[in-house]
Homo-oligomer: A and B are copies of this chain.
Amino acid sequence: MKSLSIFLAILAANIFCFAQNTPTAIIEDFIPSTCNQPGQEYPKVNSQGYARFRIIAPTADSVRVSLGLGGRGGTKLMQMPDTSWMGTTEGPMDEGFHYYNVRIDGGKFNDPGALNFYGSTRWESGIEIPAHDQDFYALKNVPHGMVQQVLFPSPSTATSRRAFVYTPPGYGKNPKTRYPVLYLQHGWGEDETAWSNQGHANLIMDNMIAEGKIKPFIIVMTYGMTNEVKFGGMRNFKIDAFQTVLTDELIPYIDANFQTVAKSAKRAMAGLSMGGMETHTITLNKPDIFSYYALLSGGVYSVEEISKSPSKPKLIFLSCGSKERPDGVKNAAIALKGAGINAVSYVSENTAHEFLTWRRSLRELAPLLFN
């Protein structure tokens, strides 16, 4: 491609963007998103949080990216003189990770420039708007734990099921050292890859351990939509199938195969969104298994629920983004504290129901666990 056509394309993309808006000074410091496929220039992001897309489909009639201003159908791309399709989001996006897809002539595809992440029950494109606090989940030159894929037997579903297990740096060096375990669940439409891929849970842990902010523990992540084979939404969701896999199959497998402290006092469960709903139900159904409960954008516990439970949790952690319903989690934590329960709430500033909320929630939760 000629550099003149690149210039024209960028110019045209900006004109398009200005045309939609009261003029905003878009700073031309766009760089490739950190979620791009190797060697790919687009999509790009700038320091203000704008995202710019470029899709090659010379004879397409229309190309639209699902990201942009909610409710307005995302960002419509415009065909450039070089036949590529380009466009910039109408406004800045929230910091952090976003799923998206590309509509081409009425079909839904992924952006060939971006890596794919499992969300909405499909592998979707992902983009990362640099966050001012992105350092806490950055890949740094510190000792790294490992993320292991395990295939555990599940008689109840007659399958071998997959889980990912984060073990902290130094794990296994001393066979006598045993670690607490956090069972950490994804949200609806995601799977057991979410917390490592888009959540960077392993890097958050590595960094906090290196800084001495937490004591090492194991994290186990598995698939939580056990009975949602047809992806029929949450309406008919029943907890039983997943609860059986988790409590009767996965936990015994982990305790038999990893250096865990196989006791309720050293076991936590947390989940985001639907995973929070699962955490809520399972911790109350099985009060002897977990001692630390955390719901990330996933509802609250009432005082009544906890009072009725035969076991008293050592911690209840409730969080969400400031663009969700922060008063709900704040008030629930206040009420629980008033009833003598160790409850903590956390609100992630300027984020919604997205992964930056949950990365930050894990960072806030981790130091409170297993003390």
Contact = CB atoms under 8 A, between A and B. Distances in A.
Interface string A41-75: 00000000000000111111110000000000000
B107 A58 contact: yes
B107 A55 contact: yes
Contacts of A165: 146
A107 B104 contact: yes
Contact of A150 (B105, B122, B144, B160): B144
Contact of A112 (B110, B149, B231): B110
Contacts of A121: 38-39
A326 interface: no
Contacts of A109: 57, 104, 109-110, 112
A160 B148 contact: no
Contacts of A144: 150-152, 160
A139 B151 contact: yes
A347 B80 CA distance: 50
- How many copies of this chain does one complex carry? 2
Nearest to A231: B39
B39 A230 contact: yes
Looking at chain A's contact residues, is the secondary structure mostly helix, strand, loop, or mixed?
loop
B139 A146 contact: no
Contact of A57 (B58, B105, B139): B105
Residue of A38, A116, A123, A141 with highest tally of chain B CB at under 10 A: A38
Contacts of A62: 59
Interface in A101-147: 104-110, 112, 115-116, 121-123, 139-141, 144, 146-147
Contact of A106 (B38, B58, B141): B58
15 contacts: A39-B229, A56-B106, A60-B105, A60-B107, A108-B112, A109-B109, A109-B110, A109-B112, A139-B151, A141-B160, A144-B151, A146-B149, A148-B148, A149-B202, A172-B257
Q: Which 10 pairs of residues, A with B, have the shortest CB-CB distance?
A: A57-B107, A144-B151, A58-B106, A59-B105, A148-B148, A60-B105, A147-B149, A175-B175, A109-B109, A146-B148
